[in-house]
Amino acid sequence: MHTHRSWAVNTRHVVAYHRGRVMVRYREGTQEIPLSDKWRESFLSGLPNLRAD
């Protein structure tokens, strides 16, 4: 799923959303991926169980 013009993430690895950033499980930790205004609504509607921190 797109999060930014240059980024897409596998929704099975998304663990949290916080202030325009998506936290994604990556190897042994997490990585922050930008979430642009253009993609925010469709991204969050596609993950109804995701809570904003």
Say what the pLDDT of residue 22 is: 92
Say what the pLDDT of residue 29 is: 92
3-state secondary structure of 19: coil
The pLDDT tens digits for 36-46 are: 999 988 888 88
Q: What are phi and psi of 29, to 5 degrees?
A: -150, -145
More confident residue, 31 or 50: 31
Q: Are strands 14-18 and 7-8 parallel, antiparallel or unpaired?
A: unpaired
Instruction: Enter the pTM of the model.
Output: 0.74
Vertex 37 angle, CA 11 and 1, to 5°: 20
Alpha-carbon distance values, 53 to 13, 15, 27, 35 (Å): 16, 10, 22, 14
The pLDDT tens digits for 15-30 are: 888 888 999 998 889 9
